[in-house]
Structure 1
Amino acid sequence: MTRERLNELLKVTGDLIPEAMEEHIGDLETDAKELLPRETLLEVLNTNQVPEAKQQALLDALDAANAVPELVELAHIMAQDAVRGLVRCHAVEFYQPLPDCLTGFAREAYAFLYTQLCVLEGRKALRARGIPEKYDEDIPERMTRKQLKKYVETGDINFDDYPWDMNFYCCQIFFLDRFYFIPYRWGGSPEAWRNQETGEVVALWHAGVRVRRDGQIDGVNGVRDPEAFTTEFMETEDAVWGNRVLPEGRISPEIVMLDKKIWRKALGDDDFLLALHIPGGEGYTPERVRSSCEQALAFYDRYYPEYNYIGFWSESWLYDPGLREIVKPDRNIVRVQKQFYCYPVEEGDRMIRLEVLGDEHADHRKLTPRNSLERGMFAVWDRGDRFHTTGMFLLREEVSRIGEDPYET
């Protein structure tokens, strides 16, 4: 699709596209005459036992969308790009589309109808790669069930977390053993270097960042340190210097020099990784992390051979180095932490408050801790300290060493 044609469509539909999508759709085209086959939508609604009146409202919304050919054309281009964009890691900042050319309930329902088109496009892309159906079995359906349950119970068809849900509707997230995986492109800090003689990995932070004495980025959680230091970084043809990131997830004031005759860059901007997402439930152990990561590498190497996935990435409150102060070393939270190279991020403790307290603004003093972990957390909050969402990477070479604390030994 040309940019000229895209602009013509957007004049009718309003700005529905993810940022920079126009840069990636030059080879895409469609002759579709409907947003979604009516029988496809009916099957979804009947499977989820949507009452007749609410079914009719969605069918009417589909008719309204189909009556705008510009919207139909744009939807099919967007769906094709969304599916491959998640693989290529471009233009994936999804937000719920609300077309200007629709009104009332049809405008609100459009995003749900569009997700069902993405399911069709996503599965078409998987079959083209030869990926067996077992890998996407019930992947988009679990999100459809959740969305239609909300619609049936409340009448609200709007999404609570549209960007996350789109991974499922586009069939580009895979559940392998214990964890979910989707492609991720690295950017920012830190960058990692590997000693070619010993295999040791050292991560270095970029220059110009204020870091508190506790190793966290200054200003996170609203906490500032008058004695914070500023990170330094320099690279020449022969060496690289920078503040070392300690594997438990803190930035050190120590500046190290790495000789490029011995050290090679192991992780840098635009490298492809696999994002690891942690569903709730049992089995959060180093053994299951290893099993899941091994399966993920085998899967992506086979079905996405054109991408060189060099390892894994994730962010979670579970990686917070502060948890080591309140959790025994033999607990799985700490055991899993030690298999990753962790690093600080600017998120603060919003995630942990949502997970533990159920509300980022909740007052823990009005709640009763349910277990030893929460008792430790409440004690930390009582003394005025805070927790930190933390990032991690795990490189391909260390997957076979999971269980041996590969970055800390």
Structure 2
Amino acid sequence: MEFMEFSDIENHDDFYAYEEGRIHVQDQRGFYVMYDSAVEQLRELEHDLLLTATHFIEKDKDHRELATRTGSAIRRQQAVGVDLAAYAHVPVDRFAVLLDLWTHEAMFLENKRQVSLPARCVEQLRYAHVPVYRFAVLLDLWTHEAMYLENKRQLLDCYLEAYHHVFDTTEKQELAVVMTTVMHQRPRVDFTLEYFVKTYRAECVVLRLQAQLVKSVLDKQIEEQRDYVGKLTEGREFEFGLPPKIIPKQPVAINFSKPALKHVYMLEFHPSLGVASRIPQALNHAFWELMYMNKAAVKTSTQMISLEHQILEAALKEWDKMEPLGAAYSPQLQQDMFSDIFVDNPAFLCEIGNELISKEESAGGQRRTAKERRTTMLNIWSKLLEVVTVRHRLLEAAWESSILAT
């Protein structure tokens, strides 16, 4: 904070601001800048969007020509009033048919000779597919692309705030992989549809559901960790192996003025938020399992997006109505095995360990060597850690059993 107060100290970092739905970058001198990679990716995005718009414009042109040809054939059939296939098998005057054919062919050639320039211009306009308003198509494309990027930014903000809390190298790499995957994610446009708006809107809904799920999980994790650290550090000084005490002063926002997750305090860190990288892994596993089971029904990208939408809705529903651990068991069993008042408090476990060590030392007398005392302490603490580990595994097995039972 003192470094930021002095204006004569040069800054070598860029500043990021989010104003009116746009992200602004300023260099160390305060000038607004754009990175070279951002400009290059913008050009690639423009090229991809133009290709997408061209495809749907050409597809609309084919549909209109097909409808025109189909309508002309129907009108000709209605004008004739007979079935030509059946008419060919009826005895007719072939000379009269040939006379009509040559007469109408001569009329056709005469009309083609008298075609004026404006008529040819109309033909060129039809060939250019003027009925499609290209600016409207580009406006739809850029509008929905901006909506898609905005939803993707909200999801990235959740992962980025979790990244700031993580210290483990492996977990930071896993979160970086997740964020990189989201950054390079593109809409799965279904080119079998008549227009791209439906695909973009479906993708935006999927991104919003992902952000909602990640935010709910991480907010709950922050809340529980904050309560747990408060119980550990209440009325105690700093001890080695325990998390630092949370100072409940002015809350801060890590990324921008409005945080994606819960507000945290200046020196508040929750390394357990590295669990955020497991959320997309679990969703992808469920998605591909269902894809394998329904591979005959899921063929297009629209169907894939719909399947992912259903998975996210089911995950949010399960998360919102999730009951406490052991709720399916009897109250007595919940009190005996699932209660976290004693076992989850390291202060109580330390008291038990110290009492056991004191009993062993008093039973052995003063004749024990320092090596024997260290061995006794190691055995006692190992047994306590084993008890905690076995209880954790037992709780997981009981939770899985309750899920399978319901």
The normalised TM-score by structure 2 is 0.26
Q: Which has the higher helix share?
A: 2
Q: Which has the higher strand share?
A: 1
